[in-house]
Chain A
Amino acid sequence: MPAVSKGDGMRGLAVFISDIRNCKSKEAEIKRINKELANIRSKFKGDKALDGYSKKKYVCKLLFIFLLGHDIDFGHMEAVNLLSSNRYTEKQIGYLFISVLVNSNSELIRLINNAIKNDLASRNPTFMGLALHCIANVGSREMAEAFAGEIPKILVAGDTMDSVKQSAALCLLRLYRTSPDLVPMGDWTSRVVHLLNDQHLGVVTAATSLITTLAQKNPEEFKTSVSLAVSRLSRIVTSASTDLQDYTYYFVPAPWLSVKLLRLLQCYPPPEDPAVRGRLTECLETILNKAQEPPKSKKVQHSNAKNAVLFEAISLIIHHDSEPNLLVRACNQLGQFLQHRETNLRYLALESMCTLASSEFSHEAVKTHIETVINALKTERDVSVRQRAVDLLYAMCDRSNAQQIVAEMLNYLETADYSIREEIVLKVAILAEKYAVDYTWYVDTILNLIRIAGDYVSEEVWYRVIQIVINRDDVQGYAAKTVFEALQAPACHENLVKVGGYILGEFGNLIAGDPRSSPLIQFNLLHSKFHLCSVPTRALLLSTYIKFVNLFPEIKTTIQDVLRSDSQLKNADVELQQRAVEYLRLSTIASTDILATVLEEMPPFPERESSILAKLKKKKGPGTVTDLEEIKKERSSDMNGSAEPTSVNSTPSPSADLLGLGAAPLTNSAPPPSSSGSLLVDVFSDSASAVAPLAPGSDDNFNLSLKTGLEKKNTITSSFVPAYGMFVCKNNGVLFENQLLQIGLKSEFRQNLGRMFIFYGNKTSTQFLNFTPTFLCLNLQTKPVDPTVDGGAQVQQVVNIECVSDFMEAPILNIQFRYGGTFQNLSVKLPITLNKFFQPTEMSSQDFFQRWKQLSNPKQEVQNIFKAKHPMDAEITKAKIIGFGSALLEEVDPNPANFVGAGIIHTKTTQIGCLLRLEPNLQAQMYRLTLRTSKEAVSQRLCELLSEQF
């Protein structure tokens, strides 16, 4: 029984704790606890009213039991009773129990809130402190509702004690974090900012935390805090080590406050006021200078506190990213730390340098440390530090050192800790792609990656290598050769089999000329791995085999034999069995022509997210896209492949791509796939009622043009389309509507291909009979939609479109059906216009004008001057140009009022580069539109189309 109890010790509690500690086994401990729980329960339930001391003691025991890891389901009421005790220590234990144990049990919270309210009103600073601590500890929404209005008043009241102010500031911060909506901004905010000037450093410390969080959400309102923070910081930094008395920590003046002030300043750009800015720069320089001074104490606390401030100052310097001099000094300082004997400092230096590497001013300076970092990767004993080294290598990587860094990472990967392998694999894959000048290097790197750390190579990584190989014909032969060689290894990773299977299936023919890799050898090599692989890989290999049937007719029979074997045809796995059966059948009955079509080489992968999307997302706020910077970087680093980031979770029939065989029963109102790409699809995201929800407000521009469509809708009976024009810049909307029928469209285009979903909605309650849409356009194979459309129902039709060459006239959709007794006939132009096949092209100002000059032949240019039909709003105009399909190039035209766009029209046969320039004249309400393309007809057509839009 130790005599370590202080204050008003509770003997019973100490005895109980000793008992527990003396228990020899877990069982004995549990027994003792159960005995105590039973005792406490009976005491709480007993008739005799417990005095405050006993209640406190028992509540404390419960707390102890809870902290041992046992569940406590009673005693809450007693704890709440203690809150209203007159004795401070009882109250304190009551609050402690509640802070540790209460979750938002609404019944109890109301009682607790009552007690808190009383204590807050008591004007006794100690009690107020307890109440505020409790609010901050629990921080539930109910508490925020009850006190979010009260606490700001306490915080800024003139007569509040300093210690209460500190608690109130942090308590408010906690409530603001959990329920920002409940904390009202008001005139207290400006007074909170002035707490930065408070005499009491403790108050300033607490207030700075609060202000930082508030300023992040409401930067405008707290702008004045910047100059106050700078002057406070400057006073601290320049003070002698004893000036701040108690707030000096191991000879470092107020390190906590300094760090918090530096954090606060990171919510803002560099101060605009030159005086403030100068003062801040001085502060930062002083901090950097101090790092070079000899330490005032040998204690680790001194150096930790000093360096904590230094690192925070460096964070601010990096955040501002505007003073090259400071950035380079910071980098040099960190460079010294890279070799420091303290592991912690090496760790932090590596971490900080990561962010320095992204600044253009210090990127080069960071790169000079490459050898040290690589060395750290090899010699550091702590995995956390090595991890930071990997991060830094990743961050400092650019074209100049990519090969070295990737090689070092691969090297390290062989021995790397399992916990960080996956991340290194990803990093290597990204760097190899980003900085690939030579794609053979890229292919080698990824194959190496699979060889060294196959288990850590996620699907995304090996998909990517396939995408790139398919999109780049210059590397296909090399890839086929390399995977073929890699597969020779007696034990190769399954991921390699997958990549190998896929690539040989597509490009095996490129190496088949070499007798060492003849078709049969290729096949045998792959098939030798077959039985060791998992089902998905085997399925993939079966697809490879059928592709071989097409590539190498000479081994067709061998493959057929394999497919026909029992282990395939009667495989227990339904997927494998189905593939075997279908492929065998296909190889037997299909003519070579059909085989060649069906098993054609995969087309290149679609471009990644277009600049339109990136722009649109940018407009909608940066939150939607994870890292615009990354996207930009990637685009500039001449990569080819790129796809929509949206997940296509629709069901575009997988077999349609490959075989096109499966004609399943025809059904109406199929849910449209949540299409890949265009954000505008959101307008129609609801599947079944795709046409119905033309709710206003979804997109201004869209509605604007939609109106023109709807106004005229009643005048139409069976003529051309009103809404046609609006589709030039939009892909979705209502094409046609009258009293009977509504036709909605959703379409997507990529390069020279497109797909359009047409929704026919019956607005009446009566069936349409003999419903036959026909397309007046060239050669068609017509598969009719269901000839009856029920009242209120909707049918969907899918049209696949290919742009063979440039064209002027839009196809016409003719619809005939019988409604009641009458025969209806109407025709609408389908809004498939040439600009749909635009791919936006981003280019610099210089490139643009160079190309513009190249297209100076008068036939290539078409110009139109016309009067604005709509209000001349720059934002709407931008949206229209982007919707039109070209990239909108910012900062290209010397006149910022002008709009400049560039893109490529894709047709099957050619690609036509287009440049456009739109000059608005606000006074005259006129526009001048100029188009330059390599083809006169295209210039003409695009100019016509676009002129109609403004």
Chain B
Amino acid sequence: MLHILLAPAAYQQIPARGYGDLLIYRQSCSCLALIQLCRRAQVSKAQPFKIHFILLFSRQGKLRLQKWYTTLPDKEKKKIIREIVQIILSRNQKTSSFVDWKDLKLVYKRYASLYFCCAIEDQDNELLTLEVVHRYVELLDRYFGNVCELDIIFNFEKAYFILDEFIIGGEVQETSKRSAVKAIEDSDMLQETVEEYMNKPAF
């Protein structure tokens, strides 16, 4: 036996106003909704290592260097910088070097008056990122000789060049200290013109 109750088509026309509280329950009867809300409940797949951006800033919160490996509008970048500097400066000494930030993870370390901070993906290798920072500091140190914050302020372009030798597109290119420093020093020697240079055997 079958009952068919005919409902007027017009039922569909009544605006969904009122009694919403009773209706809503009927839509979302599932624990799944909760699980989806729970970001960390799911384990995602390993991604290749990638740094999203690197920031250098002083204890006073002054930005000394920024390097972005993802494309973002300038406004967004400024917002992110403000936010991150504030988060990291507010952490005290004994804490871990890792902070969850949105979908990314911040890995940071302080060297004297400067904070070095990398944003990496959630499943990336945090410890190795700390060593990326350390290797970069070593490279700066080797180049400037006992590097200090002022070196980076006055020679910011060199700090960029050194970083470029070490990391491209967020990936570590050359981990050998000797090779990276040599590349920079070579370029400093390149004062001559291309004509002169090309006359030497390049390969």
Contact = CB atoms under 8 A, between A and B. Distances in A.
A17 interface: yes
A430 B197 CA distance: 68
Interface in B59-90: 63, 65-66, 69, 71, 73-74, 78
A86 B195 contact: yes
B29 A467 contact: yes
A261 to B, nearest CB: 11
B41 A344 contact: no
Contacts of A647: 27-28
A429 B34 contact: yes
B110 interface: no
Interface stretch (A660-668, A727-735, A897-905): A660-668
A536 B74 contact: no
A344 B169 contact: no
A664 B12 CA distance: 9
B49 A170 contact: no
Contacts of B8: 663, 666, 783, 798
A86 B194 contact: yes
A100 B156 CA distance: 12
Contacts of B154: 2, 4-5, 14, 17
Contacts of A780: 4-6
Interface string B87-120: 0000100111111100000000000000000000
A136 B175 contact: no
A676 B127 CA distance: 47
Contact of A4 (B96, B150, B171, B172): B150
A304 B78 CA distance: 31
B6 A783 contact: yes
Given A139-B169, A654-B20, A430 B14 contact: no
A679 interface: no
A25 to B, nearest CB: 15
Interface in A129-164: 129, 132-133, 136-137, 139-140, 159, 161, 163
A878 B123 CA distance: 38
A173 B97 CA distance: 28
B48 A213 contact: yes
Nearest to A501: B21
Contact of A308 (B35, B46, B128, B175): B128
B108 to A, nearest CB: 11
A701 interface: no
Contacts of B38: 423, 426-427, 430
A798 B12 CA distance: 9
Contact of B95 (A381, A796, A799): A381
Nearest to A463: B25
A384 B19 contact: no
B31 A133 contact: no
A161 B155 contact: no
Nearest to A537: B21
Contacts of B21: 498, 536, 539-540, 543
A464 B34 contact: yes
Interface string B11-30: 11111111111111111111
B41 to A, nearest CB: 7
Interface string A10-39: 000010010001000000000000000000
A8 interface: yes
Contacts of A382: 91, 94-96
Interface stretch (A183-191, A408-416, A634-642): A634-642
Interface stretch (A88-96, A231-239, A324-332, A852-860): A88-96
A67 B66 contact: yes
A626 interface: yes
Which among A21, A161, A246, A387 has the highest number of chain B CB atoms within 10 Å? A246
A4 B195 contact: no
A655 B131 contact: no
Given A5-B155, A266-B46, A804 B3 contact: yes
A247 B127 contact: no
A67 B63 contact: yes
B5 A802 contact: yes
Given A174-B169, A382-B91, A648-B26, 4 more contacts: A125-B202, A254-B175, A382-B96, A631-B32
Interface of B: 1-43, 46-49, 63, 65-66, 69, 71, 73-74, 78, 91, 94-100, 123, 125-128, 130-131, 134-135, 143-144, 150-151, 153-158, 160-161, 164, 168-179, 183, 186-188, 190-191, 193-195, 197-198, 202-203
25 contacts: A7-B188, A96-B160, A163-B183, A171-B168, A209-B172, A254-B175, A257-B175, A259-B125, A305-B128, A308-B128, A344-B98, A384-B95, A426-B37, A430-B34, A458-B37, A464-B29, A652-B11, A653-B16, A670-B9, A671-B12, A798-B6, A800-B5, A801-B3, A802-B4, A802-B5
